């Protein structure tokens, strides 16, 4: 006897990425109008994926990138949606799957980075960080699962942060949202197997902060164990690796120059200088 809301278990043979036809490689990358999201979307488009570039405030660069992908012979479209609005999430997935067919990849990349600590936090900073960084990926993943046809393999990749392995006193509610999403990465991997694999990427500093430059970024990365951060290209290659590894699920790839190994702690200074690591 079924309980309320219970569905029949999937009884299927899952086809992995290597078995998908070109028309079945359809990706939605949230927050792909700028920075890492844009780099990953462009990389997948270059690899022959049909890509839905999502953006909210950065819709113009997303539209330009999608147009460039089409001019190069690919399939791409840009869709604008405010992920802080729960009512916009299901329609976004519906529109994305209507563009090129069922989505087989969701990259939960869009996020916000609001600073707070236990002494300074407000209802606003907590809600802002959690709504976009945690609740939106939850509801988007639910919608993604619902639209994936039986028998087709899917992938969810959550873009996390080195902070999930290296908690610090800074960015409290942001860190809470990313740590929770890291736990969901493992939880969903169990719940959605074997049809859907769920993994994460935990970047460190990959690009200069807005308003900063490479020299400013180097003052931070010189204090990392490897004396370097990561890059959009390395993050894109990590995504490619996850998609190519059918035995991988519930894992997080940290790409951060060793930053997650304890680089930032109160007794160590901020930032650490070369030689202090």
Residue whose C-alpha is closest to residue 69's, from 31, 111, 30, 39: 39
174 is catalytic: yes
Determine contact, residues 262/208, Cβ cutoff 8 Å. Answer: no
Let me know if 174 is exposed, middle or buried by CB neighbors in 10 A (0-12, 13-18, 19+): buried
How many Cβ atoms from other residues are within 10 Å of residue 143's Cβ?
A: 21
Q: Enter the DSSP assignment of 258.
A: T
- Within 8 A by CB and 6+ apart from 174, the residues are 112, 113, 114, 115, 116, 129, 133, 161, 163
- Residue pointed to by tokens 């890291």: 182
Q: How far apart are CA 54 and CA 199, in angstroms?
A: 20
Among candidate residues 171, 174, 224, 270, the one labeled active-site is 174
Q: Long-range contacts made by residues 122-125, C-beta under 8 angstroms, separation at least 24?
A: 125/173
- The residues that are catalytic are 174
């Amino acid at each position: 006897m079924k309980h309320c809301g219970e569905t029949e278990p999937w009884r299927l043979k899952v086809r992995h990425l290597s078995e998908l036809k070109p028309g079945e490689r359809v990706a939605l990358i949230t927050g792909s109008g700028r920075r890492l999201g844009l780099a990953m979307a462009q990389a997948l488009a270059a690899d022959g994926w049909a890509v839905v570039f999502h953006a909210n405030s950065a819709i113009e660069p997303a539209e330009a990138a999608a147009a460039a992908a089409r001019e190069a012979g690919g399939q791409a479209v840009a869709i604008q949606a405010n992920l802080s609005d729960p009512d916009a999430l299901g329609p976004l997935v519906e529109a994305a799957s209507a563009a090129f067919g069922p989505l087989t990849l969701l990259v939960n990349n869009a996020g916000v980075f609001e600073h707070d600590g236990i002494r300074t936090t407000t209802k606003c900073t907590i809600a802002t960080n959690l709504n976009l960084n945690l609740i939106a990926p939850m509801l988007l993943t639910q919608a993604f699962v619902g639209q994936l046809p039986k028998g087709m393999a899917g992938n969810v990749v959550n873009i996390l942060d080195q902070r999930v392995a290296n908690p610090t006193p800074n960015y409290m509610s942001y860190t809470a949202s990313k740590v929770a999403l890291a736990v969901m990465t493992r939880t969903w991997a169990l719940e959605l197997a074997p049809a859907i694999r769920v993994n994460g990427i935990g970047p460190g500093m990959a690009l200069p902060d807005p308003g900063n430059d490479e020299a400013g970024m180097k003052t931070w990365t010189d204090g990392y164990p490897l004396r370097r951060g990561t890059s959009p290209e390395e993050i894109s290659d990590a995504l490619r690796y996850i998609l190519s590894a059918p035995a991988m699920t519930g894992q997080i790839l940290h790409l951060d120059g060793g930053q997650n190994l304890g680089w930032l702690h109160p007794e160590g200074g901020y930032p650490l200088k070369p030689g202090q690591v």
